[in-house]
Amino acid sequence: MKLEGSCHCGAVHFTDEAETPYAPYMRCYCSVCRKTAGGGGYAINLFAKAKTLKVTGKNHISVYRVRADRVAPEPGEPTPKGKLSEARRSFCRDCGSTLWVHDPRCPDLLHPFASAIDTRLPKPRRRKYIFLADKAPWVEVPPAGPHDLHFKTYP
């Protein structure tokens, strides 16, 4: 499926190919997604092919890399100080719209934010709720079930 997306002000437009943009939608409650892209206390990440990304307005894009000490470590792991995350979050520097996340450790995969997609997306068959250990206390999460899977961290 071809995904078309843009920022709010229209300075950045992009297209990308996804084998299935909704298998499944991942509602990410990590502090980074929640604070940089989540209107509902989470961001919805899709799956697409990094090599098919085409962008107009690249000069309007900035990249945010989280310092590792800003993210809670896995249980039992020490917190690395000052090291930058490999994941790169692209956003429009003019209007602040979050666009996608790419991590070079998974070079073939790109995670466009559903909020930036202009293409009509199908209703997901399944949803994964990830990083629930980091969710804000005011956020309500639907009960787990056969189509709604819950994970305290990244599955």
Whether the predicted pLDDT of 79 surpasses 80: no
Secondary structure element (H or E) that encloses residue 88, with its range: strand 88-92
Compute the distance between CA of residue 21 and CA of residue 124 in angstroms, rounded to an integer. Answer: 9
Lowest mean pLDDT among 30-34, 74-78, 133-137: 74-78
Instruction: Give residue 113's pLDDT.
Output: 92
**pTM for the full model?**
0.83
* Strand-strand pairing, 127-130 and 25-28: parallel
The confidence band for 25, taking pLDDT boundaries of 50, 70 and 90, is: confident
Give the tens place of pLDDT for each residue, 36-69: 887 788 888 888 999 999 999 999 999 999 886 5
- Backbone angles phi and psi of 17, in degrees to 5: -105, 140
Average pLDDT, the chain: 87
What sign does the dihedral 57-85-2-147 (CA atoms) show? negative
Of 76 and 133, more confident: 133
Compute the distance between CA of residue 6 and CA of residue 128 in angstroms, rounded to an integer. Answer: 24
Lowest mean pLDDT among 44-58, 89-103, 141-155: 141-155
**Bridge partners, residue 44, by sequence:** 27
Compute the distance between CA of residue 25 and CA of residue 13 in angstroms, rounded to an integer. Answer: 22
**Domains of the chain listed by start with CATH number:** 2-150 (2.170.150.70)
Instruction: Give residue 11's pLDDT.
Output: 98
Q: Which residues contact 140 (CB under 8 A, 6 or more apart)?
A: none
Compute the distance between CA of residue 10 and CA of residue 101 in angstroms, rounded to an integer. Answer: 19
Whether the predicted pLDDT of 140 surpasses 60: yes
